[in-house]
Amino acid sequence: MKPQFIVIEGGEGSGKSTLIRILKESLGDLIMTTREPGGSPYAELIRTAAIKNPLAKDAPPETTLCLMFAARFDNVANVIIPSLKKGVPVIADRFDASSYAYQISSQSSLLEDLFWSMRSKLMVTPDIYVFVDVDPEEGLKRAHGRNQSFDIGYDHFDDREITFHQNVRKGYLKFFEKVKALGTPCIIIDANRPLETVKKDFLIQMRQQLGIK
């Protein structure tokens, strides 16, 4: 079986990064995990500029979209493809759906063509998306509890108002409809439930998807 490329997506405070950490703890070297923006050393540098630096907050959406794809092309070339070539499945914490949800749906719908054009240049696209779906208000509450410090957790998207995050969620759902029509499935995990239930559900679904008992 060809190794899979699985993307985990979700809005602020959805808990997806925790779920991926738990999955990695449970599966170890059977999988490779990566995150976006970032993953490869060069893409991590772009991450710092694109989401950690306060200047990023006022950047035009074109700049942010291109930075996200710049980081993505590097992560694909240096982490994702090499791992898949070795036969190791890749689990990514965010990928192209994040750019659609944040930059296109929430920032500028005028960039939709540019998004699909850059997406078409990716050397690999996901086999499946897993959407960790939380109500945006609840998600923001969780994220704010976590990101008190500017140094540790700061991400300028957390500062945006609720409508931004509601548009992120709508963008995700629209994106998943579009890729479904292109043949890529999406599993939705309801993250409004208690964390223990979500964890269990996520681990079962991922093992099933990866074909690991």
Judged by the rule CB under 6 A, the positions of this chain that interact with ligand TYD are 12, 17, 35-37, 51, 68, 94, 98-99, 102-103, 155, 157
Q: Output the smallest distance, CB 181 to ligand TYD, in A.
A: 21
Q: Which is nearer to ligand TYD, 37 or 89 (CB)?
A: 37
Q: Which is nearer to ligand TYD, 17 or 166 (CB)?
A: 17
Report the distance separating Cα 128 and Cα 85, nearest Å.
18
Q: Which is nearer to ligand TYD, 63 or 209 (CB)?
A: 63
Q: Output the smallest distance, CB 99 to ligand TYD, in A.
A: 3
> Encoding tokens for residue 119?
């997406």
Q: Output the smallest distance, CB 157 to ligand TYD, in A.
A: 3
Q: Which is nearer to ligand TYD, 40 or 103 (CB)?
A: 103
Q: Output the smallest distance, CB 26 to ligand TYD, in A.
A: 20
